[in-house]
Every structure is written in C-alpha cells, then in structure tokens.
Structure 1
Amino acid sequence: MKNIVALSPMYTEDSNNLKKASLNSPYELNRFNAKWNVPEEFRTAVIAVYGEDIYAEIVAEQCNLTLTKPDDNWLSQISEEFIKRKISYGQLKDFVNEENIFLKCSDFKSFKAGVFDKVTNIKGFDSLDLNISVFTSEVVEWELEVRCFVLNKEIKTYSSYWRNSTLDTDLLSITEQKELFEFFKNFIQQYAETLPKAVVLDFVIIKGKGWALIEANPAWCSGLYACDAEKALEVIIESCIKN
C-alpha cells in the first residue's frame, strides 16, 4: 500500500490539482468518504492530510498525526522591521473598544477576519466568547500579496494572489521576484528556528512601506493559488508528522 494523504471530501480546485500532481508520485491521495472517517484498515498508511482545518484535525486524531503550525502568538513576536505595522495579540475582550482595526481570530474558526470600524460590528459578536485569542493590526494598504510554500528554509513554490484589491495570480515581475527572495532570505535567517520546517508564509508590499510579512499558516490547510501543486504537496506532507 502506498503512503496515503487524506483529502477532504470537499472537491476544490486545490485538492483536484494536488490529486493530479500525485499521480506519478509515491503517494496516494484519497478522499475516503463524506463522513470525515478514515477506515481502520487505512489509518496506519495515512502520513498526511490536506483540507479544511477542522477536517484535518479530525483525521489527524484518527491517524495519529501531528499537524505542525506556528505558535498562536507567533506573529506578535516578529520585529516591526519585517511586519512594518503594529500588531497586538490578546483576548477579544481586550480590544472591544478599539476602532478601525484589522482583527483576526487565532484559531481561524470563530469569525471571519477583516477590518472593522468597531469590534462590536463583527458578525455574530454577541455569541462570541470574549476570551478567544485574536490578532489586531493597524490598517494598512496592500499593493501585492504573495503566498510561499516553504520547506527547510527554502521557498519551494510561490504565487501572487492579490494585487491592488483584485484577485491576481499572474507572475511577478523580475524586480518583484528579486525583492521577494531577498526579503525572505533576511527574514528566514532570523526566524527559521521559530517556525515548523514546512510552513506557508504570506508576504506583501505595503503601500509606502515596502515588503513585509503578512502571516504564517499551516501548509496542510493553505490554498495553492497558482503554486506548483507537486512542490506544494511535498511541503504539505512534511508539515504532518506520523507518530
């Protein structure tokens, strides 16, 4: 039996591309069934998982996997040299009176991240647990956003995904590519030891400030955009540890 990567039963362009990329690889990508249940006879063969975060966590428990990810407060520990904006981390109740801020829940589940003129305007605010952990950031203007699948301190594949408030996966210019890799090199030299060996890093050009880190995400639930699926699959597999 091949080593298996469990795919979410939800068909997406990303999961379809990963499935195609695996056809000539030593890995079998299997959706199993719609009940988020890996049959007992396959569980020892499952070495990784890819899909929505809740799905991945359920499968990881069934198949004895550790899903690597950055620490919840990791971004708040990064020097302003690399983030180029003020970021805070704490409980939602600490920021209830803040206005005009970007707010994101650290567990990705409780509410959709965004810019809020008032924190109490979060959809469903009255039902939220005020003790959940969140990030806040001053509001800045993104000019270009780029996703990078990183393994062992190296960008294995990358793709733009947003340019001037529009979805855009076109190739970077030669200058943009050079600047991105130089920025990444300086960043990873300083912070590699604080991250899993396999991770997704998002970078941005902030208007008036230049290149900056947006955030770090787990590879096992990150979208591919126009990244090379075969190379992204390598990072995804390495982001899961078989216990």
Structure 2
Amino acid sequence: MPTPLRTLALSPRVTATGNALAAAGRRRGLGCETLREWRAPDRPHGITSLYAGPLFADAVSGGLGLGLLEPPVDWLAKLPYELTHRQIEFTTVARARSLRRPAFVKPPNDKSFPARVYPDGSGLPGPDAVDDDTPVLVSDIVAFSAEYRLFVLDGEVVTGSRYAVRGGLDVVPLEEDALHAQVLDFASLLRAPGVPPLPSAVVVDVGTVDGRWAVVEANAAWASGHYACDSDAALDVVLRAARPVVEVGRQDVRSLRPPVHRVVR
C-alpha cells in the first residue's frame, strides 16, 4: 500500500483528541503515525502536521521541518479590560516571585510549572527549577461560571464546545448549549479593530464572569483538547496550525513558535 503524501504525527501519549483527529484524518485519506521516541524519525514518511504537547513538539518539530503557530505570549495581557474583566500582567517568573498577594499565574504557551492560584510569589518554582526570564501571565482571580473552547480558522469559529460549568468538567457541543449565539457574538469581538491579532489557526477559550463575557485564554491548536468539538473541523485548524514551515503564510510568520536549542528529554 503506498505511503500517504501527507501524514499527521501524534505523540506517544494516547489521548481522546489524538484518536479523534487521527480518525478524522483517515476518513479524508490522511496518513497518521504515532511517534515512539522523543526525536524526529530518520525517515518521517511525509509527516506534514503534528498533534502533541509543547515539550514533545519542541523535541520533534525542528527535525520534521514543521512550523508551529501559537498565540503571542503577551496577547492576553494586551486585550482591553472589556474583553477580560480582570487585570492581567505579562512579566517574568523572577518578578512574579515578589508577589505579596494571591494571583493566578501561568506560563503563556508552555507547562513549565502548574498554572493555578498562588497565595503569593513564594510558592512559585525557584531558579533551580525555572529560569528567571521565563515569561508568565499574572492575573486577578476570577470565577468563570461557564467556559467554552473555540477552534478558530481565519478569524471564524469553525467548531466549539462547552467544557466547564462553575469550575467542574461539563462537556457539551457548542450548538447544543443555550448560550451558543452569545458565545459566537462575543468571539466576533476578537476581530474588532485594536484587538491584538492571533494566528490564522488557533484555539480561544471564553467564558462568563459575573454575567459578563470574557476571554479565558488562547492556546496553540496543535496541543489543545477538542472536548465535544467536531473532530473534522478541529482537524482543519490543527493542520493549519502545525504544517511544513515552508508553507507558513506571511501573515503567520510572526506567530511561529521559536525553535528550541536544547535537549528537552
């Protein structure tokens, strides 16, 4: 049997989203290959996209010649207050260690340490665990009543899913949620003049805070779970978000994840 001309690579970690994307890919004649080692294979068999976590993606994407799109690390902090309804600061973990108040702290596009509420900066990992210049987002603490995941392609929501209600997992396809139209109306504001741009393929999470709509965060599509999103539509976004670097359009070059020049595992 001939090798498919285009192949989606998956990390060794088995996930429901990886399985769903692989099934969607096979339905359209796309090859699917699970990589077993933390390095690019010597013969990549036409691998043209990737679904994986950030650490694994950093380990293999360069050898595969893939360009990975991700939101700007300071995107959330640059949004107007009307779209977040909380104060968000983009800073470094070294500066965040001096916090003397509770805050929600997270690395923007990585999982170098747990994203959660810290009573103060003393609970953040020290320089022996995380480099001082590691970027972080420091946010006011808010409680989202409901949260939704949106796969976005060229500024349009192509599929979505509710994933949480009052902090607990509660998954339902967006079109079956009573607030479906409100979600889409709010998401359209992200295309408004003055809002910092996002990659052409990205995942955006939104939710309600005290009855007001707010952006939760933006994520790389190639590393995001799909919950109850349509897997075929989600695959379209992933294939754009992780593709051969020579195919990345001019408008997306600034959104490429920087290469990692170190051994990650």
* Structure 1 residue 195: Cα displacement: 1.0
Matched, 1:79 2:80: yes
In structure 2, how many angstroms separate the alpha carbons of the residues matched to 1:145 and 1:52?
21
**In the alignment, structure 1 residue 230 sits paired with structure 2 residue 232:** yes
Out of 81, 89, 106, the residue aligned to residue 104 of structure 1 is 106
What does the per-residue CA deviation read over 1:74-122, in whole Å, with 9 as the maximum and x for residues that have no partner? 1111111111111001112223233111101234232100111112123
What is the distance in 2 between the residues matched to 1:42 and 1:91? Answer: 37
- Flag structure 1 segments of 5+ consecutive residues without an equivalent: none
1:18 counterpart (21, 44, 63): 21
Do the aligned partners of 2:162 and 2:177 also contact (CA within 8 Å) in 1? no
Q: In structure 2, what is the equivalent of residue 93 of structure 1?
A: 94
Code of the aligned partner of 1:70: P
Give the CA deviation at 1:191: 6.3
Q: Which one-letter code corresponds to 1:88 in the other structure? A: E
Give the structure-1-normalised TM-score.
0.91
Q: CA deviation at 1:123?
A: 5.7
**What's the TM-score, normalizing by structure 2?**
0.84
Of 191-200 and 147-156, more deviation after overlay is shown by 191-200
Matches within 5 A, 1:48-87: 48-87=49-88
Aligned-pair distance for 1:131? 2.4
Q: What is the distance in 2 between the residues matched to 1:215 and 1:226?
A: 18
Query: Matches of 1:123 and 1:192 in 2, distance apart?
Result: 32
Query: Kindly tell me: are residues 171 and 218 of structure 1, through their superposed partners in 2, closer, same or farther at Cα, counting changes over 3 Å?
Result: closer
- Pick one of 110, 119, 122 that aligns with 1:120: 122
SS where residue 145 of structure 2 aligns?
A: strand
Please state how far the C-alpha of 1:143 moved relative to its aligned partner.
0.3
Could you tell me which amino acid in structure 2 is paired with residue 238 of structure 1?
R
- The aligned residue for residue 146 of structure 2 is 144
Secondary structure of the equivalent of 1:120? helix
Indicate yes or no: 2:10 matched with 1:7.
Answer: yes
Q: Which residue of 1 aligns with 2:256?
A: none
CA-atom RMSD, angstroms? 2.0
Residue aligning to 1:135: 137
Percent identical = 29
Q: Determine which structure has the larger strand proportion and give its number.
A: 1
Q: How far apart, CA to CA, are the structure 2 residues paired with 1:120 and 1:114? A: 14
CA distance in 2, matches of 1:8, 1:116: 31
The structure 1 residue matched to 2:218, chosen from 200, 216, 231, is: 216
Q: CA deviation at 1:29?
A: 1.5
Picking from 180, 184, 188, the partner of 1:181 is 184
CA distance in structure 2 between the partners assigned to 1:97 and 1:184 by the alignment: 32
- Count of matched residue positions in the alignment of Structure 1 and Structure 2: 240
Q: Distance in 2 between matches of 1:130 and 1:98?
A: 18
Amino acid at match of 2:179: E
Shift of 1:226: 1.1
Q: CA deviation at 1:220?
A: 0.6
* 2-structure distance, mates of 1:174, 1:204: 13
Cα distance in structure 1, aligned partners of 2:129 and 2:154: 41
Deviations 1:207-240 (A, max 9, x none): 24x1111111110111111111111111000012
